[in-house]
Each structure stands twice: as C-alpha cells, then as structure tokens.
Amino acid sequence: MSGLPEIIYRGSVKDVRGVEGQSPYIFEYSDRYSVYDWGQMPDGLEKKGEALAFMAGFFFQHLGLPHHALGEAEGTLLKVKPVTVLRPEAKTEDGKIVWDYSAYQARPVNTLVPLEVIFRFGVPEGSSMLKRASDPAWRAEAGLQAEPKTGDRFEKPVIEFSTKLENKDRYISRAEAARIAGMDPGEMHTLLALVTTAAEGLKSCFAGIGVELWDGKFEFAFTGRAREPRGFMLVDSIGPDELRLTVDGLHLSKEWLRSQYKGSGWLAAAEKAKKLADARGALEWKEICTQELGESPKPLSADAKEKGSMIYLSLAEALAKKYLHRSVFPGAWPLDRLVEALKGKAAA
C-alpha cells in the first residue's frame, strides 16, 4: 500500500491509519509488544508485526464468520471496516472510579462492543479462572458442576467477560456485561453462540499444526439496526497476543513473553501500583509505578528477543504451509525446532 494516511490512533502493538469515519481504516502492526497492561515495552521483536498482520487476516477468513477485515494482509498492513469506539467516561464517586456506559443504552451499531469475551478450553497452570472457581454463582454461570482445578479440560468452551475500555480490565458477570453494553437477552444468546463457534474453529485449526489452544479472547462490534436485534462481527485482531497456545507444555503465545518478567521487581511494583491507584481513586497507575515506586520494565536479552520473534514467525509459517500450501516466512524455525529452543536446547 502506498501513500498511507495519517495515524488516527496509536496502540501499544498496532496503529490505526485512515480518515476519521471513512472506510477503510488500515491496521499497521508493529514489532512492539505489551504485557501486564503496561502498554509498549522497551524493545521489539523482529518481524512480529508482519506475522501478526498475516495471522489476523488469515483467521478472519478461515473462521468463516462475519468480520471487519477487507482482504489479506500486505506486509504489516491490514485494511478493515471502520468501527466507532464509544469510550465510557470515568467519574469519581465516594473516592472510587465509576464508569459511565450510558451511550450504549441507545443501542448503537457499527460500534465496538465494550467487552473482551474470554473463552477457555481448560485450566493451565496459573490460570486466572482459579481465582473465581470457588464461587458457586460463577460456576453456575460458566456451566460447571464442580470446582475446576489446574489441568482440567472442557469439551465446550467456558465463556467469561471482562471490560475493554477502562484503565484496566476487570472480570464481570454476564448480567453486568449485558447491562454496560446495552444488550438484550437475544443478543447475548447470539454472541455466546458466535464465541463458541469461533473458539471451536480456532481450536481445530491449531490442532492441525500440532498446537493446543487453551484459551483466548475475542472482540466484537454491533451490526444491523439499532431498533432491531443486532448481530455481531469479529473485530480487532486474532493471533498469539489474544490466545494461550502450548506444545508439550511450552507456551507459544504472549504468555511466554509474560513469563520473562515473572519474579521481576517491575512486575511486583506494577501490581502494587494498581492497588494503590484503586485505593486512591486514580487512573494513572503506571505513573505511580515509575515515579513513586521507581520501577520500569527492562529490555529482553538478545536470546529472549530471538525466541520471542520466532514464536510469532514459526506459528504463521506453520499455518500458511498447512492451510494455504505456501511459505510466508521462509526464515522461520519449524515448530519442532522452536520447541527445542524454548526447552533450552540449541536452536541450530
């Protein structure tokens, strides 16, 4: 694509180019990465942006569901239909932050659903699901008879909701999700069915290259007409940054990047900063982390950067060879070589 339009939104991983409200928008994927809600980390992963763009375009087409992508990716770029984002207003009441979602009660269309929809096919070690597993109400909503434990797998995906447009994500019930998004019961039923179909399609797709899908998240936009039952289309992106994938128990997704920071002083400070921000009714927890606690994330080692890059490139190459019968990243390691490298063995 030549003569790219201006950037109208800069995210932690990708930028959005275009003219406000005019089709198409262009997603420009970068080599940046983000973990633990921090936003852009101090370094990048070579060709990660190209791999993410390819996988986003591939999955939107492969799943066969309504989506906003307009064709295949070109390098780091993917054309999409514009979607309006109605950001809730943050208000302070009794020293606590309250989010105003009243704009969604007008039942907008071509608008981002203000939720992340999480699906789970199992309970890997460290899953946040375990924090809610003892709650009978949560288990009833999730359709689970018994309290799940590490290692459990589910025949059908367990579906949860979290907020998307607040200063940090928080898990909410289906009733709360429907309320803030202005969805009626029929729309919620439609959305749950779409999530199940999409999740099962992804699971089968990854199984075809020998990769296990544990969980992930989708984003949707409302389609149709405001005064009628609305439909949904998949939006944003689908790839290793939105999914938890393993081979032989090794992570082949952003979870591997998260693991590089576990036990660090920065991560401990970030978790403390979030709690301090909540207690103070403040939005900017990152400033507390950097200015008050004096901690920022450190760059990855050269070895970790190479392995992190190959996670994205190797997955994209394996998918292209399996389902498109062509190579897209000829320099990528085969998945078995990648797995050996992540085990600490020689990559060569």
DSSP secondary structure string for all residues of 217-243: EEEEEEES-TTS--EEEEES--STTTE
pLDDT in tens, 302-328: 999 999 999 999 999 999 999 999 999
The answer to whether residues 285 and 273 touch, using CB atoms and an 8 Å cutoff, is: yes
pLDDT in tens, 126-146: 788 898 989 999 999 999 989
The two structure tokens encoding residue 48: 């990660």
Mean pLDDT of the chain: 93
Partner residues linked to 218 by β-bridges: 117
Q: Model-level pTM? A: 0.90
- Of the pLDDT bands very low, low, confident and very high (cuts 50, 70, 90), residue 1 is low
Residue 248 in any domain: the answer is yes
Residue 262 in any domain: the answer is no
Q: Give pLDDT, residue 21.
A: 83
Residue 187 in any domain: the answer is yes
pLDDT in tens, 212-258: 999 999 999 999 987 788 999 999 999 999 999 999 989 999 989 99
- Environment class of 222 (CB within 10 Å of its CB; exposed 0-12, middle 13-18, buried 19+): buried
The two structure tokens encoding residue 134: 């003892």
Residue 53 in any domain: the answer is no
**pLDDT over 70 percentage in the chain:** 98
* Domain CATH code at residue 183: 3.30.470.20
Domain count, the chain: 1
Residue 47 in any domain: the answer is no
Helix (H) or strand (E) run with residue 27 in it? strand 25-29
Residue 276 in any domain: the answer is no
Q: Could you list the residue range(s) of the whole structural domain that residue 106 is in?
A: 89-255
Residue 239 in any domain: the answer is yes
Residue 116 in any domain: the answer is yes
